[in-house]
Amino acid sequence: MRKKQFKAESKKLLDMMINSIYTHKEIFLRELISNASDATDKLYFKSLTDGGINADELQIRIDIDKEARTLTVSDKGIGMTAEELESNLGTIAKSDSLNFKNENKDNENIENLEVIGQFGVGFYSSFMVADRVEVISRALGSDSANKWVSEGVEGYTVEPCEKEETGTTVILHIKKSTETEDYEQYLDQYRIEDLVKKYSDYIRYPIVMEIESQVPDKENKGEWLTEVNEETLNSRVPLWRKNKNEIKPEEYNEFYKQKFYDYTDPMLVIHSKTEGQATFDALLFIPENVPMDYYSKEYEKGLQLYSNGVLIMDKCSDLLPDYFGFVRGLVDSADLTLNISREVLQHDHQLKIIAKAIDKKIKSELTKLLKNDREKYEKLFKTFGVQLKWGIYADYGMNKEGLKDLILFKSSNGGYATLKEYTERMADSQNDIYYACGESEEKIALLPQVEAVKEKGYEVLFCTDDVDEFAIQMLMEYNGKHFANIQKDEVDLSTDAEKEAMKEKNESSKELLDKMKESLGGEVSAVKFTNKLGSHAVALSAEGYVSLEMAKVLSQMPGGNEGVKAQLVLEINSEHPIVKKLEGADEETLNKYTKILYNQARLIAGLSIDNPTEFADMICEMM
């Protein structure tokens, strides 16, 4: 019998498979089962029109023969004729596989074999674990069968043989284990069971295998008997394919906990069917708690990616934007009909469409939650809201439009406010969205500037997270209203007349203020009288782009942005009794008072002071 050669490109791929150092060799089983399932589908659809096939009998069988060292996968599918065996198994027919080859053509030894697992290269993957592969097939409507045999790149043979039923049987002669590679595992029933569960759990035909187990012998106490039972290994119907209203909340919760190794029920479940540019089911979960490793480098965002119930990637990171990195779940694309192989999904375009739809879906669900269950939304936001704010800031603000209505800020009105709520209740006389920054809500509420703005009847947003002000800077405005940091020098809510009066006061006190500034030796860029502090004596504000809070955040960042300093302005309440004291003080006392006021202002702003001991001494001295 003449040995035939593989087509050139097949040979290359096959060669890669045989010499593969790829760590996920186990995927070969997924590939064979998928092929069996595809072939069964084809038969099933034919039977819908032709009749004569009992769908209940359709199943996929796995047999292990430890002695012969074979692992066999058989189906009752459509089968292949001799010509089909040649053309399907002797050539890579599909353009996708060819793409794979083209993409890699400059890379002769293809070191990065990780791609194999991602591309789903199909039948040839069996050569990763087998040194001889036999395919016995009988095509539907044919009364003869054929056997295809290959031991690798040398070529293959096809010859007629006997087979009773329609369908295909693939026999793998499993390689001998080496020092570095354990192939015995593929002859172990438990291992095979696990692999089916892992990759092929939702194949819709039963995948059956004979499982041997030891049971106590009833007649001879203390003895054990070997019992063999045929078991169905896969659970077949994926939860996400079921109708939403047939699924109980507990079912979702159990599924989530089991699949994503969490102890707590998810906070939010999103189950959706999408049709259109891309057709897919998505089942997404927002956890109750921040995943343990979320802030570590080890955390990988991503969704499981299924193709018609077959797992093809465990963490497909392209499916989630970073700001939704905390979302767990899976996507199953039903797009992959029989003639589209799984590789297609790996193509950027398809994935991007799905990713975009998922992004949109999560946003719309969050919007709904915000509207319908405020309490729950706030809870969710407390846990993951920072991510959304980073999302606004990241990528040069590319995503800010989609996220700006999902973020919340603590407000001087009590509780959380959205930007929409804030702008809607703004007074007519109010031009800007006011905010202030600090360590905590409580501390910000006590800032002199906040008190003064509140007295005017305006609401203030509290920025307590490092990211808050960066997000605000990126937003620039909301609904035409600009943001104003009330700890900034240029933000002034007084009337024109008041402004004028204050200007005069500052000008007439220029000598005094300059002296005070000098005595602080370059710590501040100005000392000023203001009317922005309510009943309080002093506060710090910042001039220019960098706010107090931003300077704090930047200086704490690794790599130290030490050059980034806020230009501080020491503001003194012009109505406060302290002013009289300052005006009446001799030079030495003025220096002391200035130092005390400045240090007080720093403490109020949440900044540390250089010499606390000296500060304490000065206060005691005055007492």
- Residues near ligand ADP (CB under 6 A) are 31, 35-36, 39, 75, 77-80, 88-89, 94, 122-123, 168, 341
**How far apart, in whole angstroms, are the C-alpha atoms of residue 186 and residue 195?**
9
By the rule CB under 5 A, 438 interacts with Mg ion: no
The nearer residue to ligand ADP, 63 or 477, going by C-beta atoms, is 63
Whose CA is closest to 89, among 154, 143, 156?
156
| 458 binding partner (options Mg ion, ligand ADP, none; Cβ < 5 to 8 Å by kind) | none
Q: Residues 95, 192: contact at Cβ < 8 Å? A: no
The nearer residue to ligand ADP, 78 or 486, going by C-beta atoms, is 78
| 80 binding partner (options Mg ion, ligand ADP, none; Cβ < 5 to 8 Å by kind) | ligand ADP
By the rule CB under 5 A, 122 interacts with Mg ion: yes
**How far apart, in whole angstroms, are the C-alpha atoms of residue 473 and residue 443?**
22
| 302 binding partner (options Mg ion, ligand ADP, none; Cβ < 5 to 8 Å by kind) | none
Instruction: Write down the least CB distance from residue 85 to ligand ADP, Å.
Output: 8
Binding-site size for Mg ion (CB under 5 A) equals 2
Site for Mg ion in 567-606 (CB under 5 A): none
Q: Residues 103, 112: contact at Cβ < 8 Å? A: no
**How far apart, in whole angstroms, are the C-alpha atoms of residue 285 and residue 300?**
16
| 345 binding partner (options Mg ion, ligand ADP, none; Cβ < 5 to 8 Å by kind) | none
The nearer residue to ligand ADP, 130 or 513, going by C-beta atoms, is 130
Instruction: Write down the least CB distance from residue 137 to ligand ADP, Å.
Output: 6
Instruction: Write down the least CB distance from residue 19 to ligand ADP, Å.
Output: 18
**How far apart, in whole angstroms, are the C-alpha atoms of residue 126 and residue 279?**
30
| 362 binding partner (options Mg ion, ligand ADP, none; Cβ < 5 to 8 Å by kind) | none
DSSP readout, 535-593? T-SEEEEEESS--HHHHHHHHHSTT--TT---EEEEEEETTSTHHHHHHH--HHHHHHH
Instruction: Write down the least CB distance from residue 92 to ligand ADP, Å.
Output: 7
Which residue's beta carbon is nearest to the bound Mg ion? 122
Tokens of 358: 């998922």
Instruction: Write down the least CB distance from residue 46 to ligand ADP, Å.
Output: 13
Tokens of 388: 């959304």
By the rule CB under 5 A, 308 interacts with Mg ion: no
Task: Give, in degrees to the nearest 5, the angle at Cα 315 between 311 and 319.
Answer: 100
The nearer residue to Mg ion, 36 or 452, going by C-beta atoms, is 36
φ/ψ (deg, to 5) at 317: -75, -25
The nearer residue to Mg ion, 35 or 150, going by C-beta atoms, is 35
Report the length, in residues, of the chain: 623
The nearer residue to Mg ion, 196 or 553, going by C-beta atoms, is 196
- If one counts every other C-beta atom within 10 angstroms of the C-beta of residue 203, the result is 24
The nearer residue to ligand ADP, 337 or 611, going by C-beta atoms, is 337
Among 6, 14, 35, 568, binds Mg ion (CB under 5 A): 35
| 533 binding partner (options ligand ADP, Mg ion, none; Cβ < 5 to 8 Å by kind) | none
| 385 binding partner (options Mg ion, ligand ADP, none; Cβ < 5 to 8 Å by kind) | none
By the rule CB under 5 A, 117 interacts with Mg ion: no
| 381 binding partner (options ligand ADP, Mg ion, none; Cβ < 5 to 8 Å by kind) | none
The nearer residue to Mg ion, 117 or 122, going by C-beta atoms, is 122
By the rule CB under 5 A, 77 interacts with Mg ion: no
| Binding region for Mg ion (CB under 5 A) out of 31-39, 84-92, 101-109, 540-548 | 31-39
| 438 binding partner (options ligand ADP, Mg ion, none; Cβ < 5 to 8 Å by kind) | none
Instruction: Write down the least CB distance from residue 122 to Mg ion, Å.
Output: 4
The nearer residue to Mg ion, 120 or 266, going by C-beta atoms, is 120
Question: Amino acid identity, residue 381?
Answer: F
Sign of torsion, CA 13 14 15 20?
positive
CA dihedral angle for residue 348, residue 354, residue 359, residue 360, rounded to 10 degrees: 130
Site for Mg ion in 550-569 (CB under 5 A): none
**How far apart, in whole angstroms, are the C-alpha atoms of residue 136 and residue 75?**
11
Q: Residues 480, 430: contact at Cβ < 8 Å? A: no
Distances (CA, A) of 172 to 66, 74, 165, 587: 12, 11, 20, 97
**How far apart, in whole angstroms, are the C-alpha atoms of residue 272 and residue 256?**
15
The nearer residue to ligand ADP, 31 or 262, going by C-beta atoms, is 31
The nearer residue to ligand ADP, 80 or 284, going by C-beta atoms, is 80
Instruction: Write down the least CB distance from residue 317 to ligand ADP, Å.
Output: 24
The nearer residue to ligand ADP, 123 or 326, going by C-beta atoms, is 123
Distances (CA, A) of 597 to 8, 500, 522, 580, 614: 83, 25, 15, 14, 13
Instruction: Write down the least CB distance from residue 425 to ligand ADP, Å.
Output: 59
* CA 285 to centroid of chain Cα atoms: 11
Task: Give, in degrees to the nearest 5, the angle at Cα 304 between 301 and 309.
Answer: 175
Which residue's beta carbon is nearest to the bound ligand ADP? 122
**How far apart, in whole angstroms, are the C-alpha atoms of residue 39 and residue 34?**
8
Q: Residues 32, 126: contact at Cβ < 8 Å? A: yes
By the rule CB under 5 A, 168 interacts with Mg ion: no
- Taking each helix axis from N to C end, the angle separating 612-622 and 587-604, rounded to the nearest 10 degrees, works out to 120
Contacting positions for Mg ion (CB under 5 A): 35, 122
